[in-house]
Structure 1
Amino acid sequence: MSPSGPPVPPDLDRPHFIGIGGAGMSGIAKILAQRGARVAGSDAKDSETAQALRALGATVHLGHDAAHLAPDASAVVVSSAIRAQNPELAAARERGLPVVHRSDALAALMAGTTPIAVAGTHGKTTTTSMLAVALTALGLDPSYAIGGDLDAPGSNAHHGGGEIFVAEADESDRSFHRYAPQVAVVLNVELDHHANYASLEEVYESFEEFVGRVRPGGTLVVSADQPGAVELTSRVRDLGGLNIVTVGEAEGADVQITRINPRGLTSEVSVLLDGRMLTFTVSVPGSHYAHNAVAALAAGIAAGAPARNLASALAKYTGVKRRLQLKGEAAGVQVIDSYAHHPTEMAADLTAIRQATDGGRVLVVFQPHLFSRTRELGTEMGGALALADASLVLDIYPAREDPLPGITSELIVSAAEAAGADVTAVHGADAAVERVAGMAKPGDLVLTMGAGDVTELGPLILARLAD
């Protein structure tokens, strides 16, 4: 692709990304490469995402080494997960290179566009994806940066020729404070990311700051149903120059959901908008995905897209990797992958899958994500697993955290047992694959669930079932 549209931001014409294969980092790298920047970076291991970046001309090194930093690099881009002792980051500081947080890089890419920033404790990736797909289907060619792949490695981002830029806005490290959107979406507000937020009040304050950065005359699209979002609305109601559009099933919502009709792995949704009824199809199961679609509809309208055409275009969205993604079927058993790792997400996905099954059992292989989240929300996670017929719980996936004394997946197992769940702790991927494959019978559904590497078990379970 020849570069067009907004220029490459200063300092980012020869960027080096540390952890370039990550969902957020790879999207920014892809857009810069498409704009003509000479992109390089490193990641711990090779991946399809790294290969997709190489296809765009990026240089991707494996492992982290100061020698990977090119002599003429213009800046180093990092995420909050990169530690100070990383050798490439240390080398950049020694050389006096600008160190740019990924959110600042994304904010620079959005300059000169009409930005839509999608925020919330959960549902961001799905809603951003729905909006990107629908606007693309309308021929508006938006730019977008998403925290997951739509349909192929590297499809988490695109440099479009249109005016709209759709971005997932991450609250986990408060980096969404860097954006100044024309349209902000807040799907929900809950306490999560306990390493960065000590209380729900801190979360509210963080979201208030995000909303306060909406451009004068811009729009906040916010849930009328979720308690945290309703509280946030009351706090920002008097902000000058802010248009507020509420969405949901609540009486009086500006975009009111009047009906959600489940149809297997899809839903038919009807909304009342400006006195008119719109009915459209959402091609993924569950009422929470229907709510995401309606938020996407309202955001697109606020950015200037025609309502009826946008509603029809939302049906083009067929899913994003790891969001109730069907991995395959073997021996009469379907295997689906879910990114859910917060109790609310877990309960929503399990409810959606339960509605879509035809009498079979729902078997879950769950991997907790982060020691801090397990410490604070382990009881609620166990309660969510009670919605399954049987669950296996793996050891905690640490990601960026060091272990915490006494915090193990046994906290979740105990809570699930107390809630009446059929739950078993398992240690290691091989043990989980063998056990769930031995449990599954024709008509059952196996759900691999969590934000870590549990996603890699789907193909292994299918292969074991096929034996």
Structure 2
Amino acid sequence: MTQPLADINSLGRVHFIGIGGVGMSAVARIMVARGVPVSGSDAKDLPVMQDLQSAGARIAVGYAAGNLRDAQTVVAGSAIRADNPELEAARAAGLPVLHRSEALAATMGADRVVTVAGTHGKSTTTSMVAVLLKEAGLDPSFAIGANVPALGVNAAHGASDIFVAEADESDGSFLNYRPLIAVVTNVEADHLDYYGTPEAVYASFDSFAALLPANGVLFACADDDGARALAERTRAAGNTRVLSYGTAEDADIRLRDRGPGDVRVSVGGQEYRLDLQVPGRHNALNAAAAFGVAVELGVAPRVAAAALGHFTGASRRFEFKGQGRGVRVYDDYAHHPTEVRAALSAARSVAGGNKVHVLFQPHLFSRTREFAEQFAEALGEADTALVLDIYPAREDPIPGVTSTLITGRLKSGRLVAGGQEALDAVLSAAGEGDIVLTVGAGDVTAYGPRIVELLGG
């Protein structure tokens, strides 16, 4: 992370190992649009690879050393194993191997960079900023870790000199960017498999804020203890401006959230109504941050407030999947207790007086071990909590760590096996007018469409 940032003009032909991933394809898409010769491969033939090939990239399905051909720089996805034949060939040839964030930073060049970081809400807030700026006529480039229906894609090369990007703290890679404007939605202990301690997480956000220049600005959420503390430390350092947003009395951008249809922000003594199409206090806070960024970039406050009405959500962020028998089904990527609680709060806000049923899949053994009690507390907000086995992702099992660490603390919930048992449990619980929410960062997302189908939707 301490190496000098690469320059897009020095990369030559760039080969992406794992180009089908949402983050990798985003960088590749922008590089192609900016005239960089791109090739790439992935284990499976994914739809986005066809899009990239149509745009001019050279694409291969399956990994083989020969896929590198004339590559001069290699970008490897975080999920790529050290024994991948293409990665081994790149290292043997002495080619520079970049992390996705390093490649994206090189792509940004001399643009005015807006980065959005935080333990939760990064994708949604980045999406809001990009949609707002686009609707206001600024046409930014953007790279987001989720597909955004209002934008049609998760990454694009814009006509302006503004670049909006989601900045991922999970592996410290957000320190590779050089932002002019940075948003921090919240700061909580997470990704302890990488950081080790909560203190190391907080220190990384201090380093992130320190990247801002004297003429830059940090937007920090005043409603979150971790972000507020970061704002105070950054102000004390005196190296850049700090603006806070939230419902707190002392917030520079004051949010007044009286529920759906009545969300307002106050800045400079003037109040503006936000026409939001996404529910939940967390989304109102995200909108306040996006509003602040747009105004900082010169968008008239009234225009910024109105433009937010064009944001309809991001993929897997309380995403409506369909309905049947009067039951509405949503899907959410939440994989931290705070995110689960926010998703359930949003579900309550659209359920009215009806019930909320959640099918939750814990993500990572280490995260389950660290936050089992907090997950149980968050899931307690649902009328029915059904919990699947842990989705391991990149981890090996940890002895004694199973989903029962969560279900053993639930008053109204239980462990369910995957497949038909989970589907039957959801269908037997949900009645007309109820909300069903599938939650987690693993393959639980596949259950939503199946539930809708079985409901006759």
SS of the residue corresponding to residue 153 of structure 2 reads coil
Q: Structure 2 counterpart of 1:310, which letter?
A: A
| 181-190 vs 192-201, which moves further | 192-201
1:166 and 2:169 matched:
no
**TM-score in terms of structure 1 length:** 0.93
Cα 1:89–1:52 shift into 2, 3 Å: same
Cα distance, 1:154 vs structure 2: 7.0
- Structure 1: distance between partners of 2:30 and 2:38: 10
Number of the residue aligned with 2:104: 106
Partner of 1:261: 258
1:4 counterpart residue number:
none
How far residue 240 of structure 1 moved from its aligned partner, in angstroms, is 3.5
Matched residues in 1 for 2:407 and 2:11: separation?
47
Counterpart of 1:373? 367
The CA deviation at 1:451 is 0.9
Which among 417, 421, 441 is matched to residue 427 of structure 1?
417
TM-score (norm: length of structure 2): 0.95
Contact 2:360 2:440 in 1 (8 A): yes
Name the aligned partner's letter for residue 400 of structure 2.
G
Aligned-pair CA distance for 1:427: 2.2
Task: Choose from 265, 270, 276 the match for 1:276.
Answer: 270
Corresponding letter in the other structure for 1:151: P
State the distance in 2 between where 1:191 and 1:28 align.
28
Counterpart for residue 49 of structure 1: 48
Where does residue 3 of structure 1 map in the other structure? none
1:251 to 231, 249, 252: 249
SS of alignment partner, residue 40 of structure 1:
strand
The answer to whether structure 1 residue 194 and structure 2 residue 188 are counterparts is no
| Equivalent pair of 2:335/2:363 in contact (CA under 8 Å) | yes
Q: Given that residues 150 and 312 in structure 2 are in contact (C-alpha distance below 8 angstroms), is that contact kept between their aligned partners in structure 1?
A: no
Q: Match for 2:224 among 210, 223, 226?
A: 226
Cα shift readout 1:262-285 (whole Å, capped 9, x = no counterpart): 23xxx4311110111111211100
Q: Report the CA distance between 1:436 and its aligned residue.
A: 1.2
Q: Which residue of 1 aligns with 2:136?
A: 138
Using the alignment, how far apart are the partners of 2:368 and 2:45 within structure 1?
29
In the TM superposition, residue 239 of structure 1 has moved relative to its aligned partner by 2.7
1:440 aligns with: 430
- Matched-pair contact (CA < 8 Å) for 1:327–1:336: yes
Equivalent in the alignment of 2:312: 318
Residue 16 of structure 2 is aligned to residue 22 of structure 1: no
User: SS in structure 2 opposite 1:387?
Assistant: coil
- Measured after TM superposition, the shift of residue 153 of structure 1 is 10
Amino acid at match of 2:60: H
Which residue type is aligned with residue 58 of structure 1? A
Provide the rounded CA distance (Å) in 2 between the counterparts of 1:73 and 1:390.
53
SS of match in other structure, 1:204: helix
Gaps of 5+ in 2: 1-5
Please give the alpha-carbon distance, in whole angstroms, between the structure 2 residues aligned to 1:331 and 1:58.
45
Aligned residue runs from structure 1 range 283-294, under 5 A: 283-294=277-288
**Structure 2: which amino acid aligns with 1:437?**
L
Separation in structure 2 between the aligned mates of residue 145 and residue 162 of structure 1, nearest angstrom: 14
Change (3 A) 1:61 1:400: farther
Which string of whole-angstrom CA distances, capped at 9 and with x for unpartnered residues, describes residues 301-329 of structure 1? 22232222111111111111100110111
Question: Given the alignment of the two structures, is residue 296 of structure 1 paired with residue 274 of structure 2, yes or no?
Answer: no
Structure 1 residue matching 2:194: 3-state secondary structure: coil
Deviation at 1:346, TM superposition (A): 0.4
1:33 aligns with 2:39: no
SS in structure 1 at match of 2:262: strand
| Secondary structure of 1:323 counterpart | coil
1:84 alignment partner, SS class: coil
Matched, 1:394 2:388: yes
Whichever residue aligns with residue 340 of structure 2, its letter is M
Instruction: Determine if contact 2:150/2:310 at 8 Å carries over to the other structure.
Output: no
- Letter aligned with residue 461 of structure 1: I
Q: Residue 13 of structure 1: CA displacement?
A: 4.0
Q: Contact (CA 8 Å) 2:365, 2:397: kept in 1 or not?
A: yes
Q: 2:338 aligns with which of 333, 339, 344?
A: 344
- Alpha-carbon spacing, 1:278–1:152, altered in 2? closer, same or farther (3 Å): closer
| 1: CA distance, partners of 2:152 / 2:83 | 28
RMSD over aligned Cα atoms? 1.8
Identity across aligned pairs (percent)?
A: 50
| Structure 1 alignment gaps of length 5 or more | 1-6
Deviations 1:183-208 (A, max 9, x none): 01111000000111222211111001
Mapped partners of 1:152, 1:430: distance in 2: 34
* CA–CA distance in structure 2, aligned partners of residues 303 and 429 of structure 1: 49
Once the two structures are TM-superposed, the CA of residue 464 in structure 1 deviates from its matched residue by: 1.6
- Aligned in 2, Cα 1:247/1:58: closer, same or farther, shift over 3 Å? same
Contact map agreement 1:17 1:78 (CA 8 A) in 2: yes
| Residue number in structure 2 paired with 1:10 | 9
Task: Establish whether residue 62 from structure 1 lines up as the match of residue 56 from structure 2.
Answer: no
1:48 Cα deviation from its structure 2 partner: 3.1
